[in-house]
Structure 1
Amino acid sequence: MKLSRIARATPLAAAVCAAVVTLSAPSAAAEVVDVTVVPGLSGGQTTPYGAGCTYLVVARTGTLAEPGVGIVDLNRASTFFPHELIWDTVDPYYVPPVVLGHAFSLWTPTAPGEHALMAYQTSAGGPIETVTVNPGTPIGPGCIVAP
């Protein structure tokens, strides 16, 4: 029994169409999936964050290679390094680069209270980490935080 020319070409045509659809589909936009504030070395407190002390903020992305991630304090009572240094001197559009799916920044809250830190890649925003900051006194690599 011989297969007709159409019957033999149908599986090949279906495979080619599937490949074209797969390759031409827009790739999903990568996004920030998590933001974490590392408490560091602090003592004498119920909350590990003190105003005037510096902490590491880590934003994790969905993929390993991304162009950059913005990290902001929605309360605006803080500073970020190296963001602000580079913004003021070199590039007003600087965002921290992503290294193996993570972007890093040093965060120094300048006032006590609730701080909402957001990491984002688009104007749609991203995850928010809310931390409570008490008055603090930086001492070397650590911080003494008032209760």
Structure 2
Amino acid sequence: MIVSKRFVSAVAAAGALSAVVALAAPQAGAAVTSLDIASGLSFGSSGSYGTGCSYAVTVTATPGATVILLDGVGSSPTEVPFHGVEPVADESGKATATWTPTEKGMHYIWATERLSGTPSLTEKVTVGTGIALGPACVVLP
């Protein structure tokens, strides 16, 4: 059986994240309650999201909480598209990061509060080939 380095790295990262979340003391009332991926000025025959184009991902969480965002391509979670950014929710509970997908296909954007031990939210989106045109993005199959 051949196992790719990328798969092993993704499994190791997911395992480490699960261990941190499992060992953390839960905070009362802490939870991610919404996840929104703004498509901005993207358009095309393949949907609203394209490779190489950037999108604002906004999470509603407990004010002051650090939010972890992961991008799973297929079923492999990775932090690479968010470049290790862990935004902190402002006074209104909103935390925003920029997502720039690098691969076509089905993506699962996953959000949870760091160390809260609370459930996460996942948003499923399809990414096509993007052609960035300044603030706009043309999405092709």
Counterpart amino acid of 1:136? G
- Report which stretch shifted further, 116-125 or 44-53: 116-125
Counterpart amino acid of 1:52? G
* Residue pair 2:30, 2:118 contacting (<8 A) in 1 also: no
Larger Rg: 1
* Structure 1: distance between partners of 2:31 and 2:127: 27
Residue 52 of structure 2: aligned partner: 52
Counterpart amino acid of 1:98? A
Q: 1:96 to 1:55 in 2, by over 3 A?
A: same
Q: 1:79 is paired with a residue of what secondary structure?
A: helix
* Residue pair 1:77, 1:110 contacting (<8 A) in 2 also: no
Q: 2:89 is paired with a residue of what secondary structure?
A: coil
Q: 1:28 to 1:77 in 2, by over 3 A?
A: closer
Q: 2:100 is paired with a residue of what secondary structure?
A: strand
Q: How does 1:60-79 map to 2 (within 5 A)?
A: 60-61=60-61, 63=62, 65-75=63-73, 76=78, 79=81
User: What percent of counterpart residues are identical?
Assistant: 35
- Report which stretch shifted further, 71-80 or 35-44: 71-80
Residue 23 of structure 1: aligned partner: none
Residue 43 of structure 2: aligned partner: 43
* Structure 2: distance between partners of 1:51 and 1:77: 16
Deviation at 1:28, TM superposition (A): 1.9
* Structure 2: distance between partners of 1:77 and 1:48: 22
Counterpart amino acid of 1:79? P
* Structure 2: distance between partners of 1:139 and 1:123: 41
Q: Deviations over 1:11-64 (max 9, x none)?
A: xxxxxxxxxxxxxxx972411011111011023324111111100001112x4x
Gaps of 5+ in 1: 1-25, 88-93
| Match among 115, 123, 129 for residue 135 of structure 1 | 129
Q: Deviations over 1:79-124 (max 9, x none)?
A: 22xxx2xx5xxxxxx6211011111000000011000001101455
* Structure 2: distance between partners of 1:79 and 1:103: 16
Q: How does 1:88-99 map to 2 (within 5 A)?
A: 95-99=86-90
* Structure 2: distance between partners of 1:136 and 1:55: 12
Scaled by the length of structure 2, what TM-score is found? 0.68
Deviation at 1:68, TM superposition (A): 1.1
